Chains A and B, each alone.
Chain A
Amino acid sequence: MITDQRGPDKGNGMSDQKRTPLYDLHVDLGAKMVPFAGYDMPVQYGLGVMKEHLHCRAKAGLFDVSHMGQVKLVGEGAAKSLEALVPVDVVGLAEGRQRYGFFTNENGGISDDLMLANRGDHIFVVVNAACKAADVAHLRAHLQAEIEVIEVTDRALLALQGPAAEAVLAELNPAVADMAFMDVATIDLNGAECWVSRSGYTGEDGFEISVPNSAAVDLAKALLAHDDVEPIGLGARDSLRLEGGLCLYGHDIDAQTTPVEAGLTWAIQKVRRQGGDRAGGFPGADVILGQLADGAPRKRVGLRPDGRAPMREGVLLFDEADAVTPIGQITSGGFGPTVEGPVAMGYVATAQATKGTVVYGELRGKRLPLTVTPLPFTPANFKR
C-alpha cells in the first residue's frame, strides 16, 4: 500500500489558492498544480521533475515565479533607509545593478532573503512569496516615512534559466546579451516593457523578467515557442537550486539562522562590517558582526550521502555512527539529477564543517554516512 506521501502538499484540486496570470497556461500545458505559499503553482509538467531539471541545465527552462513579491521603494534616500534593515551595501549599489541580501532580526536571524536592485529612481526588491506580506509591513514600519513602499501587483515574474537562455531571449531583444550577471535593465520584450535582471535560482545563467500581467501569457508563449525552452515546475526548481547550493527560505535559512551560520557572509559587504564606513546599523548587527569576528557555533554545509538513499529535510546528523547527541540536521535534501545521486544541505557544528568530514545521518533507524562537500554541487554557470 502506498501511504505517507512525504512530499509537498499535493492539494485536492478544490482550492482557495490565488492564481498567477499564467494559471490557465500551466493547466493547458498539462501541469500538475499544487498549493504553494498561497498560490496554485505548477509542481511539474509532462516531462516530469527529472527531465525538466536536466533540460534546464542543458538548454533553457521557463519558470513562473509570479507568486514572489515585487516591491518598489521610491523616494530620496531609499537606499540609505533600506540599509537599516539589511546588512548589505545598498547605497553603493550602482544604477542598473542588483544584489542578494536578507532582512535580519534582532537576534541576528534572517526574516527573509531577497534581491534588491538599483533601478535609478527606485530600489526594486523581490522577496519570497510566503514572506511578502510580512516584508511589506516590515518595510512600511521601519523605512523613513518619506519612502514610499509600493507593492507591484500588476506584474508577473518569469525566469528563463539555462545555457541557452541568452540566445533565446536575444531573439526577442538583442540588448539582453549585453547584460552581465546581476545587471538589471528595462527592456522591451514581445512589445511589453519588462524589467529584466540577469540572475536566477538554478545555478545557471539566465534572466528574471518582470512583465505586465496583461503581457505575461504572450511573453511566456513566445519563449515556449522556442525549441530549446521547456516549462519547468517547482519540483525541478527545488532540485536545481539545491544542486546550486542556494538557500530556500524557511528551510536552509530562517529566523533562527544567522547569515554567518548560513555561510552568506559574502553578501555582507565590507562597508557594513566592523571598521566599515557604514558598519552595523541593521537589526542583530551585534550578533552578526560578533560572529563575523569570532566565528559561529554551527555552519551550513553541503552533504553528499555516501550511499544512494536520499536524505531529506529533518534528518538528524551525528559525528559518530553511535553518538547519542546530534550535531546538526539536514535542512534540504533529495536527489540531484545532474549529480546523479543524493545531495543535501544542513547545519553541523563548526568542528564538523570542514570539507571531507564524515558525519552520520539517521534514516529509518539506521545511521548512514555523509561527506561534507563544498557547495555548489554543480558548477555555477553565470555570465560574469
Chain B
Amino acid sequence: MKFTEEHEWLRIEDDLVVVGITEHAATQLGDIVFVELPDVGTEVVVDDEAVVIESVKAASDILSPLDGEIVEVNEALADNPGLVNEDPMGDGWFFKISAADLSKMDEYLDEAAYKALVE
C-alpha cells in the first residue's frame, strides 16, 4: 500500500489501483455526509478533481493521484457515506483506476513514511 502526502492511500488489486483516504484524513474531515464519485469510464490525469467529500461543515476535493481510467466506484457510499469514517482503509474506498503507468506508484510514500508524516 502506498500513501500520498495529501492523505490518500493506493492499493494495487488485480492490476487496478484502489484509492481511498486514510484514517487520519477521515478523522480530520469529521462526519462525512455525502460523497460525489466520478462516472465509471472517466479518463483522469493527476490532479484532476475526482471525488468531492462533504462533511457536515465543509466540502473537500480529492484529486486523482494517477493518470488512467476510472473503472469502478464504491456505489455503497451513495447510501452510506459514513463508511468513509467507519472504515476508511477498507469498505470506505472511493474508486478503482486502471493506471496508465503503475510505476508512478513508486513516487508515493510507504506506510512508515506516511506515519512519520502524520505523527
- Do A and B originate from a single complex? yes
A1 to chain B, nearest CB (A): 3
What string of 1s and 0s marks CB contacts (under 8 Å) between B28-59 and chain A? 01110110100000000001000011111111
Asked whether, in the complex, the Cβ of B61 is within 8 Å of the Cβ of A3, the reply is yes
Cβ-closest chain A residue relative to B62: A2
Asked whether, in the complex, the Cβ of A49 is within 8 Å of the Cβ of B61, the reply is no
Partner of B56, one of A309, A334, A364: A334
Please give, as numbers and ranges, the residues of chain B lying within 8 Å of A51 by CB-CB distance: 31
Q: Is A331 an interface residue (CB 8 A)?
A: no
Please give, as numbers and ranges, the residues of chain A lying within 8 Å of B36 by CB-CB distance: 309, 364
Please give, as numbers and ranges, the residues of chain A lying within 8 Å of B4 by CB-CB distance: 1
Please give, as numbers and ranges, the residues of chain B lying within 8 Å of A49 by CB-CB distance: 30-31, 55-57
B81 to chain A, nearest CB (A): 8
What string of 1s and 0s marks CB contacts (under 8 Å) between A1-12 and chain B? 111111110000
Asked whether, in the complex, the Cβ of A235 is within 8 Å of the Cβ of B61, the reply is no
Cβ-closest chain B residue relative to A239: B56
Give chain B's interface residue range (CB within 8 Å of chain A): 20 to 34
Asked whether, in the complex, the Cβ of A50 is within 8 Å of the Cβ of B59, the reply is no
Near B by CB (< 8 A), chain A positions 219-260 give: 235-236, 238-239
What string of 1s and 0s marks CB contacts (under 8 Å) between B1-40 and chain A? 0001111100000000000010001000111011010000
B70 to chain A, nearest CB (A): 16
Q: Is A44 an interface residue (CB 8 A)?
A: yes
B92 to chain A, nearest CB (A): 14
Please give, as numbers and ranges, the residues of chain B lying within 8 Å of A309 by CB-CB distance: 34, 36, 54
Partner of A310, one of B7, B25, B59: B59
Asked whether, in the complex, the Cβ of B61 is within 8 Å of the Cβ of A2, the reply is yes
Give chain A's interface residue range (CB within 8 Å of chain B): 20 to 34
Known A2-B6, A2-B8, A310-B34; judge A53-B65 contact (CB<8 A). no
A203 to chain B, nearest CB (A): 16
Partner of A342, one of B29, B34, B57: B34
Q: Is A337 an interface residue (CB 8 A)?
A: yes
Q: Is A312 an interface residue (CB 8 A)?
A: yes
Please give, as numbers and ranges, the residues of chain A lying within 8 Å of B21 by CB-CB distance: 2
A15 to chain B, nearest CB (A): 19
Near B by CB (< 8 A), chain A positions 1-34 give: 1-8
Which of B4, B29, B57, B65 has the most A CB atoms < 10 Å from its CB?
Answer: B57
Partner of B57, one of A238, A308, A364: A238
Q: Is B109 an interface residue (CB 8 A)?
A: no
Please list the residues of chain A having a beta carbon within 8 angstroms of any beta carbon in chain B: 1-8, 43-44, 48-51, 53, 235-236, 238-239, 308-310, 312, 334-335, 337, 342, 364
The 3 closest A-B pairs by CB, nearest first: A7-B58, A1-B6, A50-B31
Please list the residues of chain B having a beta carbon within 8 angstroms of any beta carbon in chain A: 4-8, 21, 25, 29-31, 33-34, 36, 47, 52-63, 65, 78, 81
Sample of 5 A–B contacts (CB below 8 Å): A3-B63, A48-B31, A49-B31, A238-B57, A334-B57
